[in-house]
Each structure stands twice: as structure tokens, then as C-alpha cells.
């Protein structure tokens, strides 16, 4: 008998549906996997796909797991199943290390707090600061640009000068709008008395890498790629095409954790690690990968997602959560 593979689907509801460039996101769906070896040692992993971000669909991940017939025989996981590569890759590594990834989450210096899109960010900002966040992230390209830039100015004035703000357009801007935003960011960033804009995340759609490189040369405020580098294969491609700026990496959908680590060690890219709204199982594994790549990563981690769901799963151990799903 090899390694026993169990898989259990989960569904969890967001307290408030998230506004994404692809509509409202109300339920986070994914899979927990459990491996058990012949010595009875157990490890858990999470497959948390975001298909509109470039990973496989939940259905494809589930099909792959079901096709294993309850036993892991070391089959190669196809590249397009990037979330499956991560979930099973972490569970296998944990089993091999006999559980050294379990236990507490790695210590985190700074976690980025999320703000809701639109004017609501102004109300929530003080709450996020009170929770200890010094880096906040705000979704833009959701409402009229003139309104959003006006709210940005108000938001920056309301934040302490040592705070940092990340703006995330999710690829939703035109070139002219991106220029308007970058002008506003550069104007804000020339004032040392106010909070700084750390970066503008994915201003243009993911296929417009050259245009974003050009923007990066013309404005002071950094541009970070996110949707353009959802998977390791895309990350490698952007690097080959000359991108040396900031990249946002969501380990849960990037692919093999070992390959991601090797990439980071070889090229030392400017990384911001980010959540894919996974459960504690995927979160712990993603943070472990982030901390192993930490020499390349000094920016606040984008993992401020606890408390976004209606359930109490954040308080459960992997084993408790697994039992809850049966
Ligand atoms: Mg983003």
C-alpha cells in the first residue's frame, strides 16, 4: 500500500460578497486533501483554485483527485492544474518532513489589511489601523475614476504618515486611466508628510506587459503585476520578457511550492505574497512558502483575509476542519 489520498470539497460564504473584475464572489469553494502513509502519518493540503485568475477550475482539480482512486502513486500533476500542484505538493512535502509544517503559523512582520472598494474604504480604514495594519490595500477601477481619485486623496489624508497604501486595479484600467492614476500617485508620493502609495497593482489587462513596463519607466510609483503572473509558468515568462518590477504571488494557485521556492532563490524577484482566500490549511502552507522565500520578500504579506467568512473555520486545526467536512 502506498499513500492513501482522501479529498473533501468545501464551500464557505464571504461575510459580504467580494467585488471582482468578474462579478460578485459570494462563496469560496475548494478541496481539502489528506495523505496518510503506511506508518499512519497524516498530512493535509488545500486546493483552492481561482479559475478566472488563471488556475484550473474546481471541477478539473476534483476530477484529477478522484482519478487517483484513493491512492497517491506519484503521478506527475499537469502544469495547468496549478492549484492542485500546490495543494498536493505541500501535503507531500509535509508528509516527507513528518509534520514539520504543522503547528503554528510562521511569524509575520506585517500583514496587509484589505479595504472594500469605493467610498466604504474611508469608513473601514481606521478599523484596519486599529487592528494593527500599517499597509492597506484598496480595490480601484470599480467606480468612476474622478470619484475614486477624490476618495484616494481623502483616504491618504486620513492615514498616518507611516502607513502604506496599495491600489489594485485588477487589470481594469485603460492606458489613459492608468496614466491618470499614476499621476495622482506620484503627486501624493512627493509629499513626505502623508502616507505613501506603495504600488499600483495590475493597472492593465494581463496580456499588456510591454505597456506596463513602459508605464513603470515613465512614473515614479511602482507597478506590481498580479493577474499577469498568476502561475509560475507566467511568472517565468514575464521574467524572460524583461519584467524586473514587483510581482504579487499567490502561492495557492502558483503551482509547485518547490519550484516557486527555487525560482525565488535563483532570481530574487521583488515579491509580495498574497492570499487566495484559502482556509487555515492553505494559508499555513502558503505562509511557510513565503517565509522560505523571505530573503527576497520584505514587503507586507497580503494575507489579511481572516474574518472574511461567516464560519468559524479560522479557529480550527487542519484535522478538526477535515472532520467538519465529512
Ligand atoms: Mg491583485
- State percent of the chain over pLDDT 70: 93
Q: Which fold has domain 3-103+313-324?
A: Enolase-like; domain 1 (3.30.390)
DSSP SS3 for 116? coil
Is 104 designated active site?
no
pTM value is 0.88
Each residue of 115-161: pLDDT tens digit?
Answer: 988 999 999 999 999 988 999 999 999 999 999 999 999 999 999 99
How far apart are the CA of 249 and the centre of ligand 1, in A?
9
Q: What average pLDDT does the segment 79-97 reach?
A: 95
pLDDT value at residue 51: 93
pLDDT at 105 over 80: no
pLDDT of residue 35: 98
Ligand 1 (ion): residues with CB under 5 Å are 168, 201, 226
C-alpha of residue 11 to centroid of ligand 1, in Å = 22
DSSP state of 309: B
Sign of the torsion angle spanned by Cα atoms 266, 272, 274, 280: positive
CA-CA-CA-CA torsion sign (19, 20, 24, 29): negative
Count Cβ atoms below 10 Å from residue 254 Cβ, excluding itself: 28
Q: Which helix (H) or strand (E) holds 71?
A: strand 71-72
pLDDT category at 98 given cuts 50, 70, 90 is low
Which of 104, 137, 157, 250 is the catalytic position?
A: 250
* φ/ψ of residue 210, rounded to 5: -65, -40
> According to the model, what pLDDT value does residue 84 have?
98
Q: What angle do CA 74, 252, 173 make, to 5 degrees?
A: 140
CA 40 to ligand 1 center in whole angstroms:
40
pLDDT value at position 163?
Answer: 95
Q: What confidence tens digit (pLDDT) does each residue in 15-43 have?
A: 989 877 678 899 999 999 999 999 999 99
Whether the pLDDT of residue 325 is over 70: the answer is yes
Strands 42-47 and 23-36: antiparallel
How far apart CA 78 and CA 71 sit, in angstroms, is 17
Report the Cα 117 to chain-centroid distance in Å.
17
The answer to whether the Cα torsion of 92, 96, 98, 100 is positive or negative is negative
pLDDT, tens digit, for every residue of 44-67?
A: 999 999 999 899 999 999 999 999
Please tell me the CATH superfamily of domain 111-304, with its number.
Answer: Enolase-like C-terminal domain (3.20.20.120)
- The gap from C-alpha 76 to its chain's centroid, in whole angstroms, comes to 25
| CA–CA gap between residue 66 and residue 7 (Å, rounded) | 8
- Confidence class of residue 108 from pLDDT cuts 50, 70 and 90? low
Q: What pLDDT, on a 0 to 100 scale, did the predictor assign at position 116? A: 87
Q: Is the pLDDT of residue 101 over 80?
A: no
Residue 297: per-residue pLDDT: 52
Distance 227 CA to ligand 1 centre (A): 7
Calpha distance 227→278 (Å, rounded): 17
Reported as a pLDDT band with limits 50, 70 and 90, residue 107 is: low
Q: How far is the CA of 170 from the centre of ligand 1 (A)?
A: 5
285-319 pLDDT, tens digit per residue, is 998 888 888 655 556 777 766 778 999 999 999 99
pLDDT tens digits for 203-229? 999 999 999 999 999 999 999 999 999
Active site residue 250: yes
Report d(CA 281, CA 47) in Å as an integer.
Answer: 10
Phi-psi region of 118 (alpha: psi -120 to 50; beta: other; left: phi over 0): left
Please report, for the chain, the start and end positions of each structural domain, with discontinuous segments joined by +: 3-103+313-324, 111-304
Report the SS3 class of residue 306: coil
The pLDDT of residue 301:
75
Q: Which helix (H) or strand (E) holds 151?
A: helix 145-158
- Residue 91 Cα, ligand 1 centroid: separation in angstroms? 26
Q: Choosing from 104, 137, 139, 237, which is the catalytic residue? A: 139
What is residue 237's predicted lDDT score, i.e. its pLDDT? Answer: 96
Residue 91 in this model has a pLDDT that exceeds 60? yes
Distance 199 CA to ligand 1 centre (A): 11
**If you average pLDDT over every residue of the chain, what do you get?**
91
What are the tens digits of pLDDT across the range 179-193? 999 999 999 999 989
Amino acid at each position: 500500500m502506498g499513500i492513501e489520498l482522501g479529498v473533501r470539497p468545501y464551500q464557505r460564504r464571504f461575510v459580504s460578497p467580494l467585488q471582482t473584475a468578474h462579478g460578485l464572489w459570494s462563496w469560496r469553494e475548494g478541496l481539502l486533501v489528506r495523505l496518510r502513509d503506511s506508518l499512519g502519518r497524516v498530512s493535509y493540503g488545500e486546493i483552492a483554485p481561482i479559475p478566472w485568475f488563471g488556475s484550473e477550475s474546481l471541477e478539473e482539480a476534483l476530477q484529477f483527485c478522484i482519478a487517483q482512486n484513493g491512492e497517491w502513486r506519484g503521478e506527475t500533476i499537469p502544469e495547468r492544474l496549478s492549484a492542485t500542484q500546490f495543494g498536493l505538493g505541500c501535503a507531500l512535502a509535509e508528509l516527507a518532513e513528518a509534520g514539520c509544517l504543522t503547528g503554528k503559523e510562521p511569524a509575520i512582520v506585517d500583514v496587509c489589511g484589505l479595504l472594500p472598494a469605493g467610498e466604504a474604504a474611508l469608513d473601514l480604514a481606521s478599523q484596519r489601523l486599529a487592528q494593527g495594519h500599517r499597509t492597506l490595500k484598496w480595490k480601484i477601477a470599480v467606480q468612476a475614476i474622478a470619484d475614486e481619485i477624490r476618495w484616494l486623496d481623502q483616504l491618504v489624508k486620513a492615514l498616518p504618515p507611516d502607513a502604506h497604501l496599495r491600489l489594485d486595479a485588477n487589470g481594469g484600467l485603460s492606458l489613459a486611466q492608468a496614466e491618470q492614476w499614476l499621476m495622482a500617485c506620484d503627486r501624493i508620493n512627493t509629499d513626505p508628510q502623508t502616507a505613501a502609495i506603495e504600488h499600483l497593482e495590475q493597472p492593465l489587462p494581463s496580456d499588456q506587459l510591454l505597456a506596463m513596463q513602459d508605464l513603470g519607466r515613465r512614473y515614479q510609483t511602482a507597478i506590481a503585476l498580479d493577474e499577469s503572473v498568476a502561475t509560475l509558468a507566467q511568472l517565468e515568462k514575464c521574467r524572460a520578457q524583461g519584467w524586473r518590477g514587483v510581482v504579487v504571488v499567490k502561492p495557492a494557485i502558483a503551482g509547485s511550492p518547490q519550484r516557486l521556492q527555487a525560482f525565488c532563490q535563483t532570481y530574487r524577484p521583488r515579491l509580495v505574497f498574497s492570499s487566495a482566500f484559502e482556509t487555515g490549511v492553505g494559508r499555513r502552507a502558503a505562509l511557510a512558502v513565503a517565509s522560505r522565500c523571505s530573503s527576497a520578500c520584505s514587503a507586507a504579506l497580503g494575507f489579511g483575509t481572516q474574518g472574511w467568512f461567516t464560519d468559524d473555520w479560522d479557529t480550527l486545526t487542519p484535522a478538526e476542519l477535515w472532520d467538519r467536512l465529512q
